[in-house]
Structure formats: C-alpha cells, structure tokens
Amino acid sequence: MSNLTVAIGSDHGGFDYKESIIKHLKANNINVIDVGTYSKESCDYPVFAKKVAEKILSKEADKGILICGTGIGMSIAANKIKGIRAALCHDTFSAKATRAHNNSNILCLGQRVIGKYLALDIVDLFLSTKFEGGRHQRRIDMLES
C-alpha cells in the first residue's frame, strides 16, 4: 500500500476517527493529505467533502477518506461532484466490493456508527482492493455520460 497518497477530511463528528486513521496510514507508510477539520469545534461537512474531492480530481491524491457522524452527509456531498464515486461502507464486504466493482475513489465512514477497529479494517480493504474493470468499467462510464 505504499506509494499511495490519501486525502482525508472530517467534520467535528468524525474528527477522532480522522486522527486515528491518519496515525494508522502513516504507520503503514501511506502519504496523507489532511484537509481538516483540525479541532472538535462544530463545522460544516460539505466544506471538507469538497476539499478531499479536489485533491482526487487534481490527482494530488489517489484515494480519499471522509468521516462525519454518520458518513451520510459526507457521501451525499461528495457524490454531487463529477468524477467522484464515494462509498459509505460500514462493513468489510462492502469496502472490498465497492473498490472491485464501482472503482470508488472516496470511502465515507460514520464515527457514531461503527467501532474504531472495524473502521481501520474497512480502510485497509478499501485501499488494498483493486478495481476489476471489464463490465464494471462500462457501468461506471454510464454514470458519467
């Protein structure tokens, strides 16, 4: 998983998991771009969804991770941006499947929904699973047209 750059962002509701995930990624030699938020003060999740999406669209980052209380606000916000395929995953099967079939470029997580160690497992699977291409590419192309 090295040579990978991950852009990560959260609102206040996802701040603690953002910090834990950053530590975990760095321990695995993954480059991290932390777009904020930088404290637990109340803030607006669309701001950070946009910042992470921009890092992916500009190719500064290979993948993105967004965390809020539920993961839902982040996934709604990120999926409004053309070229972004954001997947809200709270189980490991979905994390693998969305990479293999949807070539998702952002993982969304809800800090108030799942435990930290499950979140870290989901992150690992999301980052290590390859897109299968083929018929799945055809379907992704249909999303953009």
Residue 43 annotated as catalytic: no
Site for ligand RB5 in 6-25 (CB under 6 A): 11, 13
The one segment of 28-36, 62-70, 122-130, 132-140 that binds ligand RB5 by CB under 6 A:
62-70
Cite the DSSP H helix spans in 28-134: 45-57, 72-79, 92-102, 116-128
**Identified catalytic residue from 24, 68, 89, 108:** 68
Work out how close the CB of 63 gets to ligand RB5 at its nearest, in angstroms, rounded to a whole number: 21
Work out how close the CB of 103 gets to ligand RB5 at its nearest, in angstroms, rounded to a whole number: 24
The CA distances from residue 121 to 50, 75, 106, 109, in Å, are 25, 19, 15, 12
Work out how close the CB of 110 gets to ligand RB5 at its nearest, in angstroms, rounded to a whole number: 6
For ligand RB5, the nearest residue by Cβ is: 73
- Chosen residue from 72, 81, 97, 140 binding ligand RB5 by CB under 6 A: 72
CB contact set of 46 (below 8 Å; sequence gap of 6+): 73, 77
Site for ligand RB5 in 28-57 (CB under 6 A): 45
**The residue type at 78:** A
| Residues 27, 71: Cα–Cα separation, whole Å | 24
Residue 68 annotated as catalytic: yes
The CA distances from residue 11 to 3, 18, 63, 83, in Å, are 27, 9, 18, 22
Nearer Cβ to ligand RB5 (36/69): 69
| Residues 59, 85: Cα–Cα separation, whole Å | 15
- Chosen residue from 25, 30, 68, 88 binding ligand RB5 by CB under 6 A: 68
| Residues 43, 19: Cα–Cα separation, whole Å | 16
Residues of this chain that bind ligand RB5 (CB under 6 A): 11, 13, 45, 68-70, 72-73
